[in-house]
């Protein structure tokens, strides 16, 4: 078994200039598709020296082939996306394109396709034993449907990579763990009737919160009934309540399922500093998540693929993904953030709220505790009633 952790580079995305054109075209910066977000994210592990570590192997992303995209996506949708990327025009509304979240711009098809190719290679590389684990910061486009873009997601890399893995490894079981603050609706939908892919999503759930899905009662159908697990969390859920859900529900199901491959969509947007969500996680919980995921994977088949997912405060996202990378590869972070990285952050006009790798422990206000704790209790109780019997758990 190889002891390398593969890190998929963002250099190919940064070499394109379509997002610069997008910024000039639009009055407001797209929260996901913007240069500072990618540059700050990639520069942190580079400037921290992690890309020089012998345990980390830097890999380049490639564009996914048409055949690979067709493992999940509709041909007409793929053709339309390519047309827009080549500055053509087409009827877009039926595909969810040319919206504030999923704009059309120069080379959009390349921006969408490069992460897919990278995540496929990461998955196959881990499955074949080339790497012990792999991580791509640009990945986790879990809202993309078969012929519909949504929530900054054009092509669903997670679904395509899992389908490719299943194609090469029939009968093998995959655990898809989604800790992005938004429900992984597209990935859940793709495997809703498939017991060989267990999807578990922990996400914020409140009135009007995107994508307005992910209730506890969404448990799969047919042979897949019981293999879609949703843990909806109320706004202001903090580290303590979040971890209670993970320990009481996620870990027992994981251990009972015994997956051959684990696919983790991290999502940096459940952090308290994210502008598009309302959970209250700190860096400590992300560190605890990565260490626990690594431990559970080690106890099983030792095959782990990680993608960055969402995260709309660039500094926070960069720190979280770099913390996860260091944990996966079992290497130390530098004692202080690199000064040249801090200067890059300042150049882009981003705020540095705290200069280290940790942040201040936070608890919800006492007045909110009873209501939130009750909602978390409710979610745990319902999942145990609906899902645990599938796995012989009580």
User: Which tens digits make up the pLDDT trace of 349-377?
Assistant: 998 877 889 998 888 888 899 999 999 99
106-112 mean pLDDT:
96
Helices (H), strands (E): how many in the chain? 14, 8
DSSP 280: B
Indicate the SS3 state at residue 133. Answer: strand
Q: For residue 237, which phi and psi values (nearest 5 degrees)?
A: -60, 130
Residue 186: HSE in the Cβ half-sphere, 13 Å Cα cutoff: 28
Write the CATH number of the domain with boundaries 5-391: 3.40.800.20
Q: Which of 175, 229, 240 is nearest to 203 (CA)?
A: 229
* Each residue's pLDDT tens digit, 174-225: 999 999 999 999 999 999 999 999 999 999 999 999 999 999 999 999 999 9
The pLDDT mean for the chain works out to: 95
pLDDT for residue 1 is more than 60: no
* Each residue's pLDDT tens digit, 41-54: 999 999 999 999 99
Q: pTM for the complete prediction?
A: 0.96
Q: How confident is the model at residue 61 (pLDDT cuts 50, 70, 90)?
A: very high
- Supply the pLDDT for residue 84: 85
Residue 143: active-site member? yes
The two tokens of residue 282 are 């700190």
Catalytic residue among 109, 143, 182, 183: 143
Other C-beta atoms within 10 Å of 392: how many? 7
Q: Which of 247, 214, 206 is nearest to 371 (CA)?
A: 206
């Amino acid at each position: 078994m190889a002891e390398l952790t593969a890190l998929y580079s963002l250099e190919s995305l940064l070499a394109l200039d379509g997002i610069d054109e997008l910024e000039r075209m639009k009055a407001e910066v797209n929260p996901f598709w913007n240069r500072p977000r990618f540059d700050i994210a990639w520069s942190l592990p580079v400037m921290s020296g992690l890309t020089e570590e012998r345990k980390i192997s830097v890999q380049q992303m490639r564009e996914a082939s048409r055949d690979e995209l067709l493992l999940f996506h509709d041909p007409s949708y793929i053709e339309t996306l390519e047309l827009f990327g080549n500055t053509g025009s087409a009827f877009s509304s039926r595909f969810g394109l040319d919206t504030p979240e999923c704009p059309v711009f120069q080379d959009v098809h390349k921006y969408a396709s490069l992460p897919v190719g990278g995540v496929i290679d990461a998955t196959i590389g881990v499955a074949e034993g080339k790497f012990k684990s792999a991580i791509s910061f640009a990945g986790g486009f879990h809202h993309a449907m078969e012929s519909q873009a949504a929530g900054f997601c054009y092509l669903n890399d997670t679904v395509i990579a899992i389908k490719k893995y299943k194609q090469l490894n029939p009968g093998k079981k995959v655990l898809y763990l989604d800790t992005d603050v938004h429900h992984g609706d597209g990935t859940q939908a793709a495997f809703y009737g498939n017991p060989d892919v267990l999807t578990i999503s922990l996400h914020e759930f409140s009135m009007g919160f995107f994508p307005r899905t992910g209730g506890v009662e969404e448990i799969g159908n047919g042979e897949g009934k019981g293999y879609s697990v949703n843990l909806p969390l109320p706004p202001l859920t903090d580290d303590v309540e979040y971890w209670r859900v993970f320990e009481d529900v996620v870990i027992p199901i994981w251990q009972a399922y015994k997956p051959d491959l684990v696919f983790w969509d991290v999502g940096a947007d459940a952090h308290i500093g994210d502008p598009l969500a309302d959970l209250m996680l700190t860096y400590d919980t992300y560190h605890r998540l990565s260490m626990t995921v690594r431990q559970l994977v080690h106890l099983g088949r030792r095959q782990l693929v990680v993608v960055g997912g969402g995260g709309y405060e660039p500094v926070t996202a960069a720190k979280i993904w770099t913390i996860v990378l260091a944990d996966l590869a079992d290497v130390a972070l530098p004692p202080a953030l690199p000064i040249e990285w801090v200067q890059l952050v300042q150049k882009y006009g981003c705020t540095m709220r705290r200069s280290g790798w940790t942040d201040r422990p936070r608890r919800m206000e006492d007045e909110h505790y009873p209501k939130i704790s009750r909602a978390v209790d409710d979610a745990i109780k319902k999942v145990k009633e609906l899902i645990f019997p599938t796995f012989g758990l009580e």
